[in-house]
Every structure is written in structure tokens, then in C-alpha cells.
Amino acid sequence: MAYDLELADQLREVLATEPDVVEKRMFGGLAFMVAGHMAVCATQGGLMVRVEPKQTQELLTEPQASPMVMRGRELAGWLVVAVDASATGAELGRWVQLGVGYVRTLPPK
């Protein structure tokens, strides 16, 4: 598998009470879609999180966060967070809630 299976299991636990969550394999990982929008994704390199684009620079000051780079370009509103199955529930939950909170502001697909 191209993604961290234990991290995916932890994400399932964190998202268990969220309505309208669907898992979908994409980008070599396992994405968790909320109302049709990707909120978070378990990848081989950690956790991909969708955030409010205006928050990107502020969140990048956190040591475990790095920019999401696709085709050589940094994507505003997307972060890669260095977490794995050893992350605490509170730590993981915080990042997941940032992703879920942002996509809940978007119109459903």
C-alpha cells in the first residue's frame, strides 16, 4: 500500500461521528471526503490536510507542517503534516478538525 494503514485506521476513528464522510483512494493515499470535498488524506509521507488558504502560511510555522507541492508548485490551502500512527488522538484530531472545518464551509458537491 502507498499509504500508512495505521494512520488510515486512526482517521476512521477520529471521523467516526462525522456525517457524510466517504473514503476514496486517490493521490496514492486514502482520502476522506466530507460532503464531496477532500478534508484529509492518509499518505505514505503523513497526513495531507486541506485548510483555509489564508491560514496556510500561519500553519506552516508549526514544525510538523510542510507545504503540499504538486508539479513543483506549493498549493495554498493544502499541507502535509508529519504524523503517523504514533500521533496522539488530540494531535491528530486537531489537524483533522482543521480539514473538516474548512470543507464544511464549502458548498456540497
Question: How many domains does one find in the chain?
Answer: 1
Query: 34 and 104 in contact (C-beta within 8 Å)?
Result: yes
CB 58 within 8 A of CB 24: no
Q: Could you report the per-residue pLDDT of 10-60, keeping only the tens digit for each?
A: 999 999 999 999 999 997 899 999 999 999 999 988 899 999 999 999 999
Nearest-CA neighbor of 39 among 81, 78, 87?
A: 78
* pTM (two decimals): 0.91
Residue 90 located in a structural domain: yes
pLDDT given at position 85: 59
Grid cell for residue 31: 482520502
In-domain check, residue 86:
yes
What is the CATH number for 76? Answer: 3.90.1150.30
Q: Is residue 16 part of a domain?
A: yes
Residue 109: inside a domain: no
Which structural domain range is residue 84 located in?
5-103
